[in-house]
Amino acid sequence: MRFASARIITADVDRSVAFYERLLGLAPERPAPVFAVFRAETGTLAIGHPSTVPVPGFAAAHDGALVEFLETSPAAVDAVHARLADGVEVVQPPTDMPWGNRSLLLRDPDGVLVNVYAPLR
C-alpha cells in the first residue's frame, strides 16, 4: 500500500485554497468547485467540502490533526514566517526544537495546525 494524500474538509473551500496557495506557492487543480488538489513532488494535499465525504452526519473535526511541510533549510522556515505573519495565526514562531528541527506552527483558516519545519543540520 502506498500513501496517496491528505484531505482537509472545510465548509469554505475557496478560503482554505487561498491559504494553502499562499503557503505553498502552488496553484491547485480545481476539478470541481467543492474540491481542490495541490500536487507537490513529495505528496498531495486535497481540500474538500463536507459533501465530498459521503458519510451521513460527517463533520470536520480538526483537533489532533497536524499537516506538516518540510522546508529546505531553517532559513526557509524563517522566510515562510516572514511571508505569512500578517493575516495568519502563528501558534509558535520559528523555534529550534530539542529533536533537531526548526519549526513554525500556524493555523489554517479552519483551525488545522500546520507545521513548517526543517532539520537544523
- C-beta separation of 69 from 23 below 8 A: yes
Q: Which helix or strand (DSSP H or E) is residue 114 part of?
A: strand 113-119
19-65, pLDDT tens digit by residue? 999 999 999 999 999 999 999 888 899 998 888 877 666 666 666 67
Which pTM does this prediction carry? 0.81
**Residue 117's domain is classified under what CATH number?**
3.10.180.10
What CATH number did the domain enclosing 22 receive? 3.30.720.120
**Domain carrying residue 76:** 64-121
* 64 contacts: CB under 8 Å, gap ≥ 6: none
Domain tally for the chain? 2
Termini Cα distance of the chain: 32
The reply to whether 84 falls in a domain is yes
